[in-house]
Amino acid sequence: NIPYQIEAISRGTGTDANVIQLSRAGAATGLISIPNRYMHSPCEMVDMRDVQHTIALLAHFCGKNIGEILKSY
């Protein structure tokens, strides 16, 4: 049970995902974001639980063993 939220965005996200999607032939893209405060500042802050949940979500998607990934983190 990994907590997550789905959000559809019909405008640019300011990430490379838009550029990749709109390249010549187009490509399916997905964007995973971690909630944060003070983005692009020297003191950007995240909740480490959100980081751990994001790692678990990506590991599950990629079919990796989450235990091995978290040990190296």
Interatomic CA distance for residues 64 and 60, integer angstroms = 6
Weakly modelled stretches of the chain, pLDDT under 70: 64-66, 69-70, 72-73
Q: What local confidence, expressed as pLDDT, does residue 52 receive? A: 93
Give the DSSP per-residue string, 9-22: --S--SSHHHHHHT
Query: Could you give the 3-state DSSP secondary structure of residue 67?
Result: helix
Q: What local confidence, expressed as pLDDT, does residue 34 receive? A: 93
pTM of the model: 0.69
Q: What local confidence, expressed as pLDDT, does residue 70 receive? A: 66
Q: What local confidence, expressed as pLDDT, does residue 48 receive? A: 95
DSSP secondary structure code for residue 3 in this structure: -
